[in-house]
Amino acid sequence: MGVTKQLYELQELDLEIDSQEQALSQTMSQLGESPAVLRVQGQLQSEQERLEELRRKQHSAEWEIEDISTKLAPAEKKLFSGDIKNSKELANLQHEVEMLKAKRNQMEEKALEIMEQVELSETSVAKISSELETLKAEWQRQQQELADSVERLKAILSDLRGKRQLLSAEIPPQVVELYQGLRKERGTAVARVEQGICRGCRISLPTTELQQARSGNLVKCSSCGRILFLA
Ligand SMILES: [Zn+2]
């Protein structure tokens, strides 16, 4: 195999390695936490906190109702016992009983409202939890796929690098060095020649350059400086 063909093949390998490396880093950048999962986790946490707060309010309303009831029972008993003869005292007691009843009604309404809110919040927590489970499962599936891709790409790259090492060992070191320098400078070091035109810069090559290249000599394009390769 002529040295220009070896260099061309080396370049093909390098381009393939570049492309697989890019795919690998792109894949690896997608590994990690999911913004969607984090967002829904945050939603769930704040809804759970709201529910806890509502339950606390519900309990304190219930305690308050119980407290009023324990005061009301003896007051009513006393009121209807017939023991109180003094009309002013009786009126005061009646007033107290009415006040306690009104307060209890008010608290019962409040407790009912809170209970409705608790139920709504419980539904919401259940809905967000199930959404989170779905998102997590999807995310885990994606992460597994990405991890598989990473393994596959690493294997491909290791294979390509092995091939590159074998090929570059066959090429004289100073030529490899020239190739590396051109590649660094211009992106591609070797240009195909098709119909007398350098594919690197699309300029028609002078006859002498074409002849030299055809004979398998290492010739650089006088226009773009790339190594010419005639298939
Ligand atoms: Zn050129």
Q: What is the pLDDT of residue 216?
A: 77
The Å distance, Cα 9 to ligand 1 centre, comes to: 18
CA of 213 to the centre of ligand 1 (A): 12
Q: Residue 3 above 80 pLDDT?
A: yes
CA distances (Å), origin 49, targets 18, 40, 58, 122, 132: 50, 14, 14, 11, 17
Calculate mean pLDDT across residues 195-218.
91
Average pLDDT, integer, range 143-148: 97
- Residues 30-51 have a mean pLDDT of 96
According to the model, what pLDDT value does residue 1 have?
A: 67
Model pTM? 0.71
- CA–centroid distance, 186 to ligand 1, in Å, is 11
pLDDT at 84: 87
User: What does the alpha-carbon distance between residue 6 and residue 175 come to, in Å, rounded to a whole number?
Assistant: 11
The per-residue pLDDT for 73 is 95
pLDDT tens digits for range 45-101: 999 999 999 999 999 999 999 999 999 999 999 999 988 889 999 999 999 999 999
Residue 18 Cα to ligand 1 middle (Å): 22
Give mean pLDDT, residues 105-131.
98
C-alpha of residue 7 to centroid of ligand 1, in Å: 16
Is the pLDDT at 160 greater than 90? The verdict is yes
> Could you tell me the distance, in angstroms and rounded to a whole number, from the CA of residue 83 to the centre of ligand 1?
120
- Taking the centre of ligand 1 as the mean of its atom positions, its distance from the CA of residue 219, in whole angstroms, is 11
Taking the centre of ligand 1 as the mean of its atom positions, its distance from the CA of residue 17, in whole angstroms, is 24
Q: How far is CA 105 from the centre of its chain?
A: 51
Measured in angstroms, how far is the CA atom of residue 190 from the centroid of ligand 1? 9
- CB atoms near residue 195 (< 10 Å): 6
Between the CA of 10 and the centroid of ligand 1 the distance, in Å, is 18
